[in-house]
Amino acid sequence: MSIEITTIDTHCTSTPDLVILSNHRIVPPYGMAGGEEGQCGKNWVERADGTIVDMTGQDGTRVDLGDVFVLQTPTGGGYGPTSERVELAPETAE
């Protein structure tokens, strides 16, 4: 998910702040019943000038017109060991 900053309220007296409160940015989501853990999420801002500002799970920064906030959600942890999974044949369209 990414959000491009396209408008800023003209009544603002300063550049607005972007604040994020998110989980699983350092510790990945856990698996259950022997399943593998998921992957951590990431947050960052792509500035209009091309620079990248990495953000932590609990962070904030100022944004301006043309900046893009990117929220990469963590994946879920797995359920059960991969060795016990049955691989299904791909479905074919008829």
pLDDT at position 31 is 93
Q: Is the pTM of this model over 0.75?
A: no
- The yes-or-no verdict on residue 13 having pLDDT over 70 is no
- The yes-or-no verdict on residue 4 having pLDDT over 60 is no
pLDDT tens-place string over residues 24-65: 999 999 999 999 999 999 999 999 899 999 999 999 999 888
| Residues with Cβ within 8 Å of residue 73, at least 6 apart in sequence | 1, 41
Q: What percentage of the chain carries pLDDT values higher than 90? A: 44
pLDDT at position 16 is 80
Q: Hunting for tokens 């800023």 — which residue is that?
A: 8
Instruction: Quote the DSSP letter at residue 79.
Output: B
| Cβ neighbours, 10 Å, residue 47 | 15
Q: For residue 60, list its beta bridge partners.
A: 19
> Pairing mode, if any, of strands 52-55 and 68-72?
unpaired
